Chains A and B, each alone.
Chain A
Amino acid sequence: MSTRTRRAAGLGGILGTIAVIVGLKAASAPSPVHLVVTPHPSAAAPPTTGAPSTPGGPSSTTASPSAPAPPTTTARPQQVIGSAESNPYGTVQVRLTLLGRRIVDVTTVQVPNDRGRSVEIAREAIPLLRQEVLKAQSAQIDAVSGASYDSQGYAQSVQAALDRARQ
C-alpha cells in the first residue's frame, strides 16, 4: 500500500456508502448541522455557515481529455452545502453540485486547517475522496464492496447535502 493511500485513509467516507447514496433519497442523515441550500447555482454559492471559503479545495472544472457523454438529464444544476462534520483531524464540509439526481461536482468548503499534519493529509485526501464520489456513481455501479475507509466526515457531509437537496 502506498503512502498516499494510507494518508488518504485518515480522513473521511465510505466508498460503498457514497456509491449507494448517490442520486437517491436518504432516510436518516447523520446530524445535519449548518445546512445551507442555494436552490439555484450562482457560480460561487457563498457558504453562509461561518466557514472559511474554499481553502485549497479542488477546482470544480476538471476537464477530461475525451468527453463523449453529456448529462442525460435536463434538470437545472443545483448546489448544496453539506453539514460541517468534525473529526479528530478537524472539520470537513463539502459543496455538491447536482444535476437532477446526479452529483456532477464536489468541492470542499472547509478542510482541516489548524494543524500541520491534518493540513498535509487533507491536501492529498480531499481530491482523492472527491474522485471517489464522482467515480462511484459512474458506470451504473449500485454499490462497492471492500472499501470501508475511515473518511466518515466527508461521507457524512455529502450525505447531509444530498438529504437537504431532496427536502
Chain B
Amino acid sequence: MSEPLVHVEEVMGTRVTIDVRKDGDPPGAATAAAVRWLHRVDDTFSLYQPDSVLSRLRGGDLAANDGPPELAEVLALADHCAALTDGAFDPFWQGPADPTGVVKGWAAQRASEIMAGRGSSAHMVNAAGDLWAHGQPAPDRMWAVGISDPHCRGELVAVVHGADLAVATSGTAEHGPHIVDPRTGRPATAVASVTVVGADLGVADGLATAGVALGADAPDLLGRLDDEGWSSLVVFADGTRWSSPGFTRRGRVGPSPLPVRAAGTELVDEGLVDQGL
C-alpha cells in the first residue's frame, strides 16, 4: 500500500482536503485528476466569474440545454432537493436558478468517483466540512467523522461512523445567519447547525441547508427523510439537540461530555513533560 497522502486544494472559494488512504497507480494520479475536476467545476459554476456557465445562465445568455452536461446534472440535483424538502431548499428563491447550495457537495462526491475510477479504494474528500468518505480507512475500522459543536469551538457533538458515507453540515456558526427561510424571506436563526448523513453528498448538502432554513420545523421534514436513508442531527440555537432514529444508530450522539472529549490530547502533553521537553 502506498504511503498515506493528504492534499489540500484552495478551490471553489473554499478549501478542499483530499485524504488518500489507499491510492491508485501511479500514486497521486487519482488526486491530480480530482483536483483538475474541482477546478473545472469552479470555472463552470462560479458566480464570481461573469463568463462562467452558471453566470451566463443566470444572465439569460445561455439556455440550460446548451450548457455542459454538468450543468444539467446540478440543476436536476437542485430540483430533486427542492422536491424532497417541499421547497425549503429552493434554487429559484431569488430569480434565476442558483444551485450553488448543492454544487460543493456534488463536486466533492464526483471527485471521489473520479478517484475511485483511477484505483483509489479508500479516501475522503472534505470540502470545508462537507465530506464524502469512500471505502474504509483500514480493514478493521470505519471512518469516524466528528460533528463540530456550533456552540463550542473545538468540541464535537457527535461522531458518525461508516463507509461510503456523506456527511454535510450547514449552519450559522461560522458566518452568521446566511441562509434564508424561503417561506418568510428572512434569515433563519432558530437552528445553529444541521448535519445530514446519507449516501450522496450533493443531496445531503441540500437537505442540511433546507434544515437550517426550516429552523424549528426542521425535525418534521428531516424525521420523514430518515425513512428514505437520510439521517440527521439538529443543534438548535438554544443548544438543545434533536437527532433522527437513523442518526442515533449510526453515530454516538453526545450528551456532553462526549467520550471523544474525555480522550483529549492534553493527556499527551504530560507525556511530553516526562520526556524532558
Contacts and interface: CB of A to CB of B under 8 A. Distances in A.
Contacts of A135: 154-155, 261, 264-265
Contact of A71 (B168, B266, B268, B276): B268
B228 interface: no
Contacts of A67: 267, 270-271
Given A26-B7, A43-B277, A145 B147 contact: yes
Of the four ranges (under 10, 10 to 19, 20 to 34, 35 or more), the interface on chain B belongs to 35 or more
A61 interface: yes
A145 B263 contact: no
A61 B269 contact: yes
Interface in B92-136: 124, 126, 128-131, 133
B169 A5 contact: no
A15 B154 contact: yes
Contact of B154 (A27, A29, A132): A132
Contacts of B263: 69, 138-139
**Residue of A20, A43, A70, A99 contacting most chain B CB atoms (<10 Å):** A20
Interface stretch (A47-55, A81-89, A147-155): A147-155
Given A8-B153, A62-B266, A1 B192 contact: yes
Contact of B8 (A15, A30, A148): A30
Interface residues of A, number: 61
B137 interface: yes
B173 interface: yes
Interface in A125-163: 128, 131-132, 134-150, 152, 159
Contacts of A5: 151-153, 173
A25 B124 CA distance: 14
B6 A141 contact: no
Given A25-B3, A68-B267, A143 B173 contact: no
Given A24-B19, A146-B193, A141 B145 contact: yes
Contacts of A143: 17, 19, 124, 126, 131, 133, 143, 145-146
A138 B169 CA distance: 21
Interface in B1-56: 3-10, 14-15, 17, 19, 28, 31
**Residue of A15, A28, A146 contacting most chain B CB atoms (<10 Å):** A146
B144 A14 contact: no
Interface in A49-96: 60-64, 66-71, 77
A142 B133 CA distance: 10
A15 B148 contact: yes
Interface string B162-191: 000001110111100000000000000000
A21 interface: yes
A118 to B, nearest CB: 18
B81 interface: no
6 contacts: A1-B173, A15-B154, A28-B8, A138-B265, A144-B145, A144-B147
Interface of A: 1-2, 5, 8-9, 14-17, 19-21, 24-30, 41, 43, 60-64, 66-71, 77, 97, 99, 102-105, 128, 131-132, 134-150, 152, 159
Sorted from nearest, which 5 A-B pairs have the closest CB atoms? Answer: A146-B169, A148-B128, A147-B148, A64-B266, A134-B265
